[in-house]
């Protein structure tokens, strides 16, 4: 029995669902608003709010949990890129490194005094093609 096991399966197996949520969370953090279906948005809302809560803690354990949740991969920097990064030029960073910086920088400071409810879902209408319901999910 599945008592107390809350998750929207969204028609995918576990590994596909985790990868899809990680990609959607990264896009949500970077763009602040993404368009998706309501079922995916409701599941994403649960995880996106937890990310902000972890970012507000701002300790090493929280950063490691976020890195695991978002499936962050760090490419090795060459010595030249490492030197430029120390000087403040982060052009050599991949998008994953930038996600962590934005989450623990901009979004953390934006929601410091807010107790919860960091995201909202705005329903749009039907998608042309398969007539699926569509919505925006965005950080408030």
Closest CA to 76 of 95, 56, 100, 94: 94
pLDDT number for residue 131: 94
**Of the options 3.60.15.10, 3.30.930.10, 3.40.630.30, 3.90.1030.10, the CATH number for the domain spanning 14-139:** 3.90.1030.10
State the Cα–Cα distance between residues 124 and 5, nearest whole angstrom.
30
Tell whether the model's pLDDT for residue 1 goes beyond 70. yes
Cα 107 to its chain centre, rounded Å, is 11
Q: Is the pLDDT of residue 92 over 70?
A: no
129 torsion bin: left (phi>0), alpha (psi -120 to 50), beta (else) = left
Instruction: Place 118 in a pLDDT band, splitting at 50, 70 and 90.
Output: very high
**pLDDT score, position 26:** 93
Local confidence band at 123 (pLDDT 50, 70, 90 cut-offs): very high
Q: What percent of the chain is modeled with pLDDT above 70?
A: 99
Q: Please give the pLDDT value at position 122.
A: 96
**If pLDDT is split at 50, 70 and 90, which confidence band does 45 have?**
very high
Q: Is the pLDDT of residue 89 over 80?
A: no
């Amino acid at each position: 029995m599945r008592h107390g096991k809350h998750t929207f399966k969204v028609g995918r197996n576990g590994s596909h669902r985790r990868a899809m949520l990680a990609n959607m969370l990264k896009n949500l953090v970077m763009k602040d608003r993404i368009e998706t279906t309501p079922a995916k948005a409701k599941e994403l809302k649960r995880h996106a709010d937890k990310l902000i809560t972890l970012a507000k803690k701002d300790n090493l354990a929280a950063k490691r949990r976020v890195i695991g949740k978002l499936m962050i991969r760090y490419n090795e920097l060459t010595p030249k890129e490492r030197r430029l990064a120390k000087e403040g030029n982060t052009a050599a960073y991949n998008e994953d490194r930038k996600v962590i910086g934005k989450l623990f920088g901009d979004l953390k400071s934006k929601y410091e005094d807010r107790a919860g409810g960091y995201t909202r879902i705005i329903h749009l209408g039907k998608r042309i093609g398969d007539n699926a319901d569509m919505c925006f999910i965005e950080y408030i």
